[in-house]
Amino acid sequence: MLRTEFWDILYVVHATEGQVRLSDCESGLSGPKSERSGQVVGRRKGGIGIALVTGALLVGVSACGGGSGKAGGSDQAGGNDAKTSGKPGASASASPTKPAGPPMLLETITPQAGATVGVAMPISVIFTNPVAAKARAAVEKHMKVSASQPVAGAWHWFGDKRADWRPKTYWPSGTKVKIDADMTGVSNGNGRYGVRSYTHSFTIGDDVRADVSVNCHTMKVTRNGQAVRTLSINAGSPQYPTWNGTMAVIDKQEKVHMTSCSVGISCTKGSANYYDLTLPWDVHLTQSGTYVHYSTGDPNPGSGSARGSHGCVHLSMSDAKWFYGQVKQGDPVTITGSPRAKAPADNGYAAFNLGWDQWLAGSASGEGTTAAL
């Protein structure tokens, strides 16, 4: 997966109950750095660029919509039931027999244990240390995915620390899902061995989808196959076009602090592209910063408006609030008609931007069917 080799830094500003992030509109950078509780954390190449924060949610990066927020609903991988400690955590418990080398641990598992997510949500596992290519088939086989109904799917590696499992097509709504990652004694191919097991269970909720037409300035929202509403939108300008493709919602925040300077668009007050705003009803789509949200600079989006964003999708205030209340992590938002390419599959949770053959090309063990749950 091609990625830029540099990233901008976002600064976290804590507000009352929600965490407000300082960031910006989509500038075309596909992998900014993330930050944790005021401490800058560099993004790792090939990974999702996320770090554990209080509440066991992950920090993401934003651009068009501004500073990212918690990058959605991950738990620190913390042993059986993977219960959230809220801290980057306690050391792994020892295995019954002494491992042959230092421990191989899982840093995060997404979705969060007990979560209800959308039909496009992958299972995403982040390892603390690199997994060698020669060891990936064995590692995949020890990460068993079970479901309440049979679902075909496969693992796919993004670099050497992140593996995602996605179904061949969207999850059926109502499916109960469980991942059992029994890493005890499993080698990462680099001298480390697993010392514990991890279990996460979650549920696939209503099938909520949003289809955005850049050219028609519309967003059509459906629930369980039934049309709900069509909203007026504006997407990115020709200078800062919006990503095409399908992006599963990473997370959402009621307010996000966005600045043009934080993503390198403009640091000069008074320039046409300068802004420093706190904006409401922000639904996070990519780690590089795409959001669906309301913008004070584009209060009445639609075909009659000449305004374009810095890569985000703009809604009116009332529509943004309504949409915020409809969607959850993992709901697919599909954008068409932009001159920009599809978002990279690891830019957040955009797994369905890869065709099935492309997805299998990144798997060590190939397609399989979920175990019975």
Show the domains of the chain with their CATH numbers: 11-72+207-350 (2.40.440.10), 75-206+356-362 (2.60.40.3710)
Per the listing, tokens 């932009």 go with: 338
111: preceding bond cis by omega (within 30 degrees): yes
How does pLDDT run across 211-260, given as a tens digit for each residue?
A: 999 999 999 999 999 999 999 999 999 999 999 999 999 999 999 998 88
SS3 (DSSP) at 321: helix
Q: Which amino acid is at 139?
A: V
CA distance 44 to 55: 22
pLDDT surpassing 80 at residue 70: no
Position 185 pLDDT exceeds 70 = yes
Tokens standing for residue 197: 């097991």
CA-nearest of 219, 250, 248, 223 to 235 is 219
List Cα–Cα distances, 241 to 298, 311, 336, in angstroms.
Answer: 16, 5, 11
Bridge partners of residue 220, in order along the sequence? 211, 230
Residue 345 pLDDT greater than 50, yes or no: yes
Residue 352: φ, ψ to 5°:
-80, 5
Q: What is the pTM of this model?
A: 0.78
**pLDDT for residue 262:** 81
Residue 75 banded pLDDT, cuts 50, 70, 90? low
Q: Which residues contact 254 (CB under 8 A, 6 or more apart)?
A: 18, 280, 281, 282, 324
194 pLDDT band (50/70/90 cuts)? Answer: very high
Q: CA-based angle 346:42:193, to the nearest 5?
A: 70
Measured distance CA(22)–CA(13) in Å, rounded: 6
Alpha carbons 119 and 106: distance in angstroms, whole number? 24
The stretch 257-268 carries a mean pLDDT of: 85
Predicted pLDDT at 169: 98
Q: What order of strands is seen across the sheet that includes strand 245-248?
A: 226-232, 218-223, 208-213, 332-336, 245-248
What DSSP assignment string belongs to 168-210? Answer: SSPPPTT-EEEEEEE-TT-B-SSS-EE--EEEEEEEE---EEE
How far is the C-alpha of 218 from the C-alpha of 116, rounded, in Å?
A: 27
pLDDT at 293 > cutoff 50: yes
Question: What is the rounded average pLDDT for all residues in the chain?
Answer: 79
Identity of the residue numbered 371:
A
- 8 Å CB contact between 311 and 263: no
Residue 291 CA, chain-centre distance (Å), reads 12
Strand 197-204: give its sheet, edge to edge: 116-117, 197-204, 176-182, 143-147, 371-372
Highest mean pLDDT among 19-28, 79-88, 145-154: 145-154
Give the closest residue to 40 by CA, choosing from 13, 14, 12, 64. 12
CB proximity list for 242: less than 8 A, separation 6 or greater: 26, 64, 214, 235, 236, 290, 309, 311, 312, 313, 335, 338, 340
Least confident of 25-34, 160-169, 349-358: 25-34
pLDDT of residue 74: 56
Closest Cα partner for 183 from 194, 191, 172? Answer: 194
> Is 2's pLDDT higher than 50?
no
* pLDDT band per the 50, 70, 90 thresholds, residue 99: low
Model confidence at 60: pLDDT above 60: no
Q: How far apart are CA 68 and CA 23, in angstroms?
A: 7
- Overall average pLDDT of the 146-168 stretch: 98
Bridge partners of 213, per DSSP, are 218, 336
- Catalytic positions are 293, 312
Mean pLDDT of 349-358: 98
**pLDDT grade, residue 73 (50/70/90)?**
low
